[in-house]
Amino acid sequence: MSAPKEEREAEVIPIASAPSFEEPDSLAAALAFVRRRIAGEYEVDEFGYDPELTDKVMLELIRPLYRHWFRVETVELKNVPDEGGALVVANHSGTLPVDALMMQVALHDEAGRALRLLGADLVYQLPVLGHLSRKTGHTLACREDADRLLRKGELVGVFPEGFKGVGKPFSERYRLQRFGRGGFVASAIRAGVPIVPVAIVGAEEVYPKIGDLKSLARLFGLPYLPITPLFPLLGPLGLVPLPSKWMIEFGEPIRTDEYEPSAADDPMLVFNLTDHVREVIQQMLNELRLRRGHAFPPFF
């Protein structure tokens, strides 16, 4: 039996007559944002991190890449602590550090946590890039900054492979490079926070590096100047990333609170734990790569 006419009309009214006020609201929010920026009514922390600018502008700009171009899929986000300090350790690849930005979006949007990335010295020697990096929560990859952030209860991200990882040739894709001297492990031990291993699959195919313009790289003070199938052949168009399918897996946290803070000064302990983290991430990469399948599946 059908409902009375009055009830049927009441049921459809919320759907049929719900006007959208998103555009006026968005305009008002944008104007309020600009007014606050002009008036200086916003806050940054001791590292220069500007949460409002990061959330409202920077992440909005790169979110389309995350959602529609790379179609990033996250796995086991439950392993990321809801609160408190933790060190997120990931593989690094892709010629340009796009993987760092995608991981930042993943943790912000899907885990509700701001990621404070540790960057190389070169990043902060470049005026514009260095300033933007600090505004978006990144800071120098040094012991002092890492320790302070972790003790404040922040989620800190690090890529131990550094330029060796992000700049490796395509023929060595998904093979982890050396993890340095384990400074990140020592920071985690001193702060007593867990280490969350992360495997990122998809970045290797964004800018396949098939060569290196070493002379020009030295001229500009860069660790490398890549040759890819599209760059420099197509000029600026060669900088458009290929739309590979991405997956980011967050592994089970590795505890460090069972050690005394002084254990961070034991080189053998730090080396063994660093090597363990590296092995865990390599195994995760091998399995996740098989799970991802083809790097460029058809768009549907």
- Please report the pLDDT score of residue 39 as a whole number: 76
Rounded to whole angstroms, what are the CA distances from 213 to 164, 172, 221, 225? 16, 18, 12, 5
Rounded CA separation 225/18 (Å): 54
Ranges 25-29, 150-154, 185-189, 254-258: which has the least confidence: 25-29
Amino acid identity for residue 226 in this structure: P
Quick one: 208 exposed, middle or buried, by C-beta within 10 A (0-12, 13-18, 19+)? buried
Over residues 164-188, the mean pLDDT reads 94
Does the pLDDT value for residue 53 go beyond 70? Answer: yes
Burial letters for 114-137: b for 16+ Cβ neighbours within 10 Å, e otherwise?
Answer: bbbbbbeeebbeeeeebebbbbbb
- Please report the pLDDT score of residue 22 as a whole number: 47
CATH number among 3.40.30.10, 3.30.479.30, 3.40.1130.10, 1.50.10.20, domain 45-206+241-292: 3.40.1130.10
Over residues 83-94, the mean pLDDT reads 97
- Please report the pLDDT score of residue 1 as a whole number: 45
Query: Mutual orientation of helices 183-191 and 267-292 as an angle, nearest 10°?
Result: 110
Q: Express each pLDDT in 20-33 by its tens digit.
A: 434 557 778 777 77
Does the pLDDT value for residue 116 go beyond 70? Answer: yes
- Please report the pLDDT score of residue 101 as a whole number: 96
Q: Express each pLDDT in 193-247 by its tens digit.
A: 999 999 999 999 999 999 999 999 999 888 999 999 999 999 999 999 999 999 9
Does the pLDDT value for residue 130 go beyond 80? Answer: yes
Over residues 273-292, the mean pLDDT reads 97
Residue-averaged pLDDT of the chain:
89
199: which strand partners? 249
Does the pLDDT value for residue 18 go beyond 60? Answer: no
Rounded CA separation 25/29 (Å): 6
Does the pLDDT value for residue 19 go beyond 90? Answer: no
Over residues 5-20, the mean pLDDT reads 39
Q: Is 71 left (phi over 0), alpha (psi -120 to 50) or beta?
A: left
Quick one: 294 exposed, middle or buried, by C-beta within 10 A (0-12, 13-18, 19+)? exposed
Does the pLDDT value for residue 9 go beyond 80? Answer: no
- Please report the pLDDT score of residue 4 as a whole number: 46
Over residues 146-174, the mean pLDDT reads 95
Nearest Cα neighbor of 118 from 60, 76, 161, 75 is 161
Model confidence at 300, pLDDT cuts 50, 70, 90, reads: very low
pTM of this prediction?
0.87
- Please report the pLDDT score of residue 40 as a whole number: 75
Rounded CA separation 133/130 (Å): 5
Strand stretches in 62-166, DSSP E: 73-75, 86-90, 115-119, 139-140, 155-158
Model confidence at 5, pLDDT cuts 50, 70, 90, reads: very low
